[in-house]
């Protein structure tokens, strides 16, 4: 699933805050746990020392009162020590006070060398053998994770032992030890509030960071959203958009985007014009053109390609060369096509069978031009030509040229004939005026000549009307010669109407 930028920023800030708070809480709990354990160890050591000093005082008081063991046997000495300690109210009060008032001390017991309890805060232990517990040093020296596992694992008691000796000065022998027990349950009760506070602080910090990140990201990304909307409008063709009125980087980016939009509008208009012109040019071409990219995909197809391949141009756009010219296609044999890559083909002629077997095959001319730039292949241009149409057009051009030449010859002949006819008509009119009156043979001959001249003039006129579309050919001439020629032709009619002389 793709996340939005706002969501990413919110998650990053939340994870960053969670990491900082988590590390801080971890260090806090670690420090607190070690402090509690070290404090418990120190407290237990202090209680053991206090109990030892008080036990010394109890034995000293008993000796001052004249009490002594009946013999030096271990049993008598042990019983003497037990009675001295048990009857000393200061010692028992100290033990009860430490267990009752101290939140960390679980049990205080004085045992002999065999582990038999002499006096204890637990009334059921005196006279019984007490098994040694793991030393508290194991918990003190353990790692933080191991400490938490031990504290919150199965309930377990740990001892802080203080061994002591008994006997005359210089002959003291180990007699027993003072055991101060600490329970993991009491340590957990001491540490749990700090853990809860750390977890609660982490949750509150994460929630606050998420809320703050959402607010900050919304405020920060508001210009980005406006810029995104501006880009969307530009993509829809709405280029007249005002940039953000800000003095920071977002305002500069928005201004540049607006400038790019204006440039894109000009480029789009130019591109649209060029595309229309290109479509018009391609639409007027009889040759089929296919332009392929370097990966062999058609990006331009002229409408005339349909006459050769039988598929509309819009269906061929975007297709691979191997799809347009598959194996077995009649044109594939002339194309040097390896996969989707073309090789140059100067000129090739192929006879493609017509869809109707009664029709002759279509002769197609094919050429392939590979487009390269700085030695890098950029694409290829495939050109298809209808050779039969070209030959037909060539024959028609030859016929047209011959007809045009014939027309020019005919027009020249008509002009050459018309000029003498006009002169003959003028002189014939002059002759008719000088004939004597009557209906003799001369007048009949003149009438026949006049009729024949009219018939020949109509024929010449039809020739000239047929060739009237020909362009006039301008050339230089002498005006004196032209006027003399016109004057000579028009002299009979001019003399009959108004006589004149040359100056």
Q: Residue 422 and residue 408: Cα distance in Å, rounded?
A: 21
Contacts for 164 with CB less than 8 Å, ≥ 6 apart: 52, 55, 174, 175, 176, 177, 178
Residues 157 and 296 grouped into a single domain: no
Residues 23 and 156 grouped into a single domain: yes
Per-residue model confidence as pLDDT tens for the chain (503 residues): 566 766 777 778 778 877 887 788 788 788 888 888 888 888 888 888 888 888 888 888 877 877 777 777 777 777 878 788 878 888 888 888 877 777 778 888 888 888 888 888 888 888 888 888 888 888 888 888 888 888 888 888 888 888 888 766 666 777 888 888 888 888 888 888 877 887 887 788 778 877 877 787 777 777 777 767 767 776 666 656 666 566 566 666 667 767 777 676 767 777 677 667 666 666 656 778 888 888 888 888 888 888 778 788 888 888 888 888 888 787 877 888 877 888 888 888 777 777 666 677 777 888 888 888 887 888 888 888 877 776 677 777 777 777 777 777 777 777 777 777 777 778 777 777 777 776 667 777 777 777 887 887 787 777 777 665 555 667 788 888 878 877 776 666 566 555 555 55
Q: Which range marks the domain in which residue 332 is found?
A: 288-388
Q: Tell me if 413 is assigned to some domain.
A: yes
Q: Tell me if 232 is assigned to some domain.
A: no
pLDDT at 26: 81
DSSP category for residue 502: -
Q: In terms of residues, how long is the chain?
A: 503
Q: Residue 466 and residue 135: Cα distance in Å, rounded?
A: 134
pLDDT at 387: 76
Domain count, the chain: 4
Closest CA to 62 of 84, 90, 93, 83: 84
Burial of 342 (0-12, 13-18, 19+ CB in 10 A): buried
Residues 352 and 328 grouped into a single domain: yes
As given in the structure block, the two tokens for residue 123 are 């009334």
Residues 277 and 325 grouped into a single domain: no
As given in the structure block, the two tokens for residue 210 are 């998420």
Strand partners, 382: 290, 368
* Backbone region of residue 456 per phi and psi (left: phi > 0; alpha: psi in -120 to 50; beta: other values): alpha
pLDDT at 52: 84
Domain limit, last residue, from 367, 388, 409: 388
Q: Tell me if 215 is assigned to some domain.
A: no
As given in the structure block, the two tokens for residue 259 are 């400038």
Residues 56 and 190 grouped into a single domain: yes
Residues 37 and 168 grouped into a single domain: yes
Q: How far is CA 475 from its chain centroid? A: 72
pLDDT at 281: 66
Q: Tell me if 223 is assigned to some domain.
A: no
For tokens 């800000």, the residue is: 246
Residues 277 and 292 grouped into a single domain: no
Q: Residue 268 and residue 272: Cα distance in Å, rounded?
A: 6
Q: Tell me if 375 is assigned to some domain.
A: yes
Residues 364 and 335 grouped into a single domain: yes
pTM over 0.75: no
157-166 and 341-342 beta bridge pairing: unpaired
As given in the structure block, the two tokens for residue 67 are 């009490």
- Provide the angle, in degrees to the nearest 10, between the axes of the packed helices 387-434 and 479-497: 40
Domain limit, last residue, from 388, 421, 449: 388
Domain limit, last residue, from 156, 183, 201: 201
Residues 120 and 241 grouped into a single domain: no
User: What Rg do the C-alpha atoms of the chain give, in angstroms?
Assistant: 63
Residues 438 and 293 grouped into a single domain: no
CATH of the domain at 309: 3.30.450.20
pLDDT at 91: 81
Q: How far is CA 281 from its chain centroid? A: 36
Residues 246 and 320 grouped into a single domain: no
Q: Residue 446 and residue 441: Cα distance in Å, rounded?
A: 9
pLDDT at 33: 82
């Amino acid at each position: 699933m793709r996340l939005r930028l706002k969501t990413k920023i919110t998650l990053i800030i939340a994870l960053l805050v969670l990491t900082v708070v988590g590390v801080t809480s971890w260090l806090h709990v670690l420090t607190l746990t070690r402090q509690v354990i070290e404090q418990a160890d120190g407290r237990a050591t202090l209680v053991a020392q206090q109990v030892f000093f008080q036990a010394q005082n109890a034995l000293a008081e008993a000796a001052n009162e004249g009490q002594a063991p009946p013999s030096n046997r271990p049993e008598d000495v042990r019983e003497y020590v037990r009675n001295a300690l048990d009857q000393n109210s200061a010692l028992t009060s100290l033990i009860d006070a430490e267990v009752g008032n101290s939140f960390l001390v679980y049990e205080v017991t004085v045992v002999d060398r065999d582990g038999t309890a002499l006096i204890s805060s637990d009334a059921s232990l005196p006279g019984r053998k007490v098994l040694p517990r793991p030393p508290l040093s194991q918990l003190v020296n353990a790692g933080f994770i191991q400490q938490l596992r031990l504290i919150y694992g199965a309930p377990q008691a740990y001892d802080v032992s203080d061994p002591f000796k008994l006997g005359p000065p210089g002959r003291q022998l180990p007699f027993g030890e003072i055991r101060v027990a600490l329970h993991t349950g009491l340590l957990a009760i001491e540490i749990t509030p700090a853990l809860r506070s750390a977890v609660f602080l982490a949750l509150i910090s994460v929630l606050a960071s998420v809320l703050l990140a959402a607010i900050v990201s919304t405020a920060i990304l508001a210009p980005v959203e406006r810029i995104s909307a501006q880009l969307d409008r530009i993509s829809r063709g709405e280029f007249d958009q005002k940039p953000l009125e800000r003095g920071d980087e977002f305002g500069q980016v928005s201004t540049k985007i607006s400038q790019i939009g204006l440039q894109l509008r000009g480029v789009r208009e130019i591109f649209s014009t060029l595309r229309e012109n290109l479509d018009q040019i391609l639409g007027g071409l009889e040759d089929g053109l296919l332009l392929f990219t370097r990966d062999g995909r058609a990006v331009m197809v002229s409408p005339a390609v349909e006459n050769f391949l039988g598929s509309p141009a819009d269906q061929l756009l975007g297709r691979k060369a191997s799809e347009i010219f598959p194996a077995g296609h009649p044109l594939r044999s002339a194309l040097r096509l390896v996969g989707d890559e073309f090789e140059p083909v100067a000129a090739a002629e192929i006879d493609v069978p017509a869809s109707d077997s009664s029709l002759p095959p279509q002769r197609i001319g094919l050429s392939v031009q590979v487009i390269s730039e700085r030695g890098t292949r950029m694409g290829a241009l495939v050109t298809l030509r209808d050779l039969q149409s070209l030959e037909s057009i060539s024959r028609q051009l030859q016929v047209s040229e011959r007809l045009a030449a014939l027309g020019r010859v005919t027009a020249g002949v008509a002009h050459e004939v018309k000029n003498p006819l006009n002169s003959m008509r003028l002189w014939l009119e002059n002759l008719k005026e000088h004939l004597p009156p009557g209906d003799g043979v001369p007048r009949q001959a003149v009438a026949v000549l006049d009729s024949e001249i009219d018939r020949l003039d109509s024929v010449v006129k039809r020739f000239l009307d047929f060739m009237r579309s020909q362009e006039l050919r301008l050339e230089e001439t002498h005006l004196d010669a032209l006027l003399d020629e016109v004057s000579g032709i028009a002299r009979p009619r001019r003399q009959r109407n108004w006589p004149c002389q040359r100056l």
